[in-house]
A and B are shown apart, each in its own frame.
Chain A
Amino acid sequence: MNLESLQRIDSRWIFLAFLLAVAIPIVNPIGLPLKISDNTKKVYEAVERIPDGGVVVLTPDFNYDNKGELQPMMEAFLRHLFLKNVKVVSVSYYGAASPLLMEEAMKSVGLEAYGKKYGVDFVNLGYLAGDETAVAAFGANVHALVKVDYYGTSISQLPIMERLRTAKDIDLEISLSAGMNYPELYLRQWQTTYGTKVTGGSVGLIYAPLIPYISSGQLLGYLPSMRGTAEYELLSRRPASAIVGMDSQSLVHLVFIVAIVICNIGVLGSYLKSRRGGAKI
Chain B
Amino acid sequence: MTTFIGKREIPVIIVVILSLVMIIPFFIVVPALNVASTEIQRMLVPIAGFALILGGLNVTLRNAMKISKRNKGWPFSIVLLATFIFFLVVTLTPGLEMLYTTAYVTVLGKVNEAIMALIAVFMATMAYRGFKIKSFETCLFTLSCLIVMIANAPIGEAVWAGAPDVRNWIMDYPNMAGMRALNIGIALGIIAYGIRTMLGRERIALGDVEVKVKKE
Contact = CB atoms under 8 A, between A and B. Distances in A.
The answer to whether A and B touch in the complex, with CB atoms under 8 Å apart, is: yes
Residue from B38, B149, B153, B172 having most chain A Cβ neighbours under 10 A: B153
A104 interface: yes
Contacts of B156: 250, 253
A227 B152 contact: yes
Contact of A267 (B127, B132, B145): B132
B163 to A, nearest CB: 10
Given A100-B105, A259-B124, A263-B131, A211 B171 contact: yes
A33 interface: yes
B38 A133 contact: yes
Contacts of A18: 120-121, 124
Interface string A43-69: 000000000000000000000111110
B113 A32 contact: no
A181 interface: no
Interface string B31-74: 00000001000100100000000000000000000000000000
Nearest to B168: A211
Given A211-B172, A260-B131, A263-B131, A130 B42 contact: yes
A254 interface: yes
Interface in A1-34: 7, 9, 11, 14-15, 17-19, 32-34
Given A64-B113, A68-B117, A227-B154, A211 B128 contact: no
B176 A211 contact: yes
A208 B175 contact: yes
B23 interface: no
A33 B123 CA distance: 26
A212 interface: yes
A32 B155 contact: yes
A67 B157 CA distance: 27
B124 A255 contact: yes
Interface string B98-138: 00010001000100110011001101110111011110000
A211 B124 CA distance: 26
A32 B124 contact: no
A interface bracket (residues with beta carbon within 8 Å of B): 35 or more
A280 B93 CA distance: 67
Nearest to A255: B124
B152 A264 contact: no
A246 interface: yes
A104 B109 CA distance: 13
B191 interface: no
B150 interface: yes
B128 A260 contact: yes
B177 interface: no
Contacts of A250: 153-156
Interface string B164-180: 10000001100110010
Contacts of A9: 128
Contacts of B129: 263
A55 B161 CA distance: 39
Contacts of B101: 100
B175 A256 contact: no
A259 B128 contact: yes
A257 interface: yes
Nearest to B139: A264
A253 B152 CA distance: 8
A208 B42 contact: no
A104 B133 contact: no
A65 B101 CA distance: 16
6 contacts: A64-B109, A227-B152, A252-B153, A256-B127, A260-B145, A263-B131
Interface of A: 7, 9, 11, 14-15, 17-19, 32-35, 37, 64-68, 97, 100, 104, 129-130, 133, 208-209, 211-212, 215, 227, 230, 246-247, 249-257, 259-264, 267
Interface of B: 38, 42, 45, 101, 105, 109, 112-113, 116-117, 120-121, 123-125, 127-129, 131-134, 142, 145-146, 149-150, 152-158, 164, 171-172, 175-176, 179
Given A65-B112, A129-B45, A263-B131, 7 more contacts: A64-B112, A100-B105, A133-B38, A215-B172, A260-B145, A263-B129, A267-B133
